[in-house]
Structure 1
Amino acid sequence: FLHAVRVAARGDALLAPSITRKLIDRYVTQPPPTSGGTGKPLEDLTGREREAVVLVAQGLSNDEIAARMVISPLTAKTHVNRAMSKLRARDRAQLVVFAYESGLVTPHNP
């Protein structure tokens, strides 16, 4: 329980990476939506916010995103939160869905 509280306080996902991978695998094997995407333009995101969304879609935590982008964890969290706000995403899982539906991220076949 304490671990979950600490994870949530950092702004990281509570899902285990293995569960996130299963969710993504299941999502990408489904037929594409008939609406042709979310209708939310990528142009609303800055380049850094777009980069953060891609890294969220790869299952990275805020600390891992910060390391990849060479920024502080707080700045990484800010990029993620601003992207969520602009895209009206309730959580990181919705960011992942947006990233795939918009074509920002594509599935990799092993």
Structure 2
Amino acid sequence: MSENLDATTMKPEGKGAAVGGFILSLVGIVVPFNVIAVLMGSAVMAYIGLVLCLASVILCAMAMGKLKKTGGKRGLAIAGLVIGLVATVWSAMAVMSIGEAIDARNKGVSEFQKELRNM
């Protein structure tokens, strides 16, 4: 009798993708604004954050589709999708402004060096 029950009930698929997308969205929201990377002049961290955010949005969207078909709960996938979309916008702004931050840092360093030479 339990064999019949197992064959007829579907196990929700997509939970792993939802968890993965949620985690990627949380990591993606933190990575682009790593202050140490900005001060060191590395724009790579902003691009990595943008890629992570886009991957999280894709994973969460796929997980929502699978969970909807199999009748699973989609709360974590929805949360990951919302955080991923916000993080994507935030990362895109970081990518656009990282050059200005690096230029301002370089300008400050050059002015500081000029003042040291004048002393």
Max Rg structure: 2
Task: Indicate the structure with greater helix content.
Answer: 2
- TM superposition score category, shorter chain reference: under 0.3
Higher RCO, 1 vs 2 (CA within 8 Å, ≥6 residues apart): 2
Give TM-score, length-normalised by structure 2.
0.26
Give TM-score, length-normalised by structure 1.
0.28
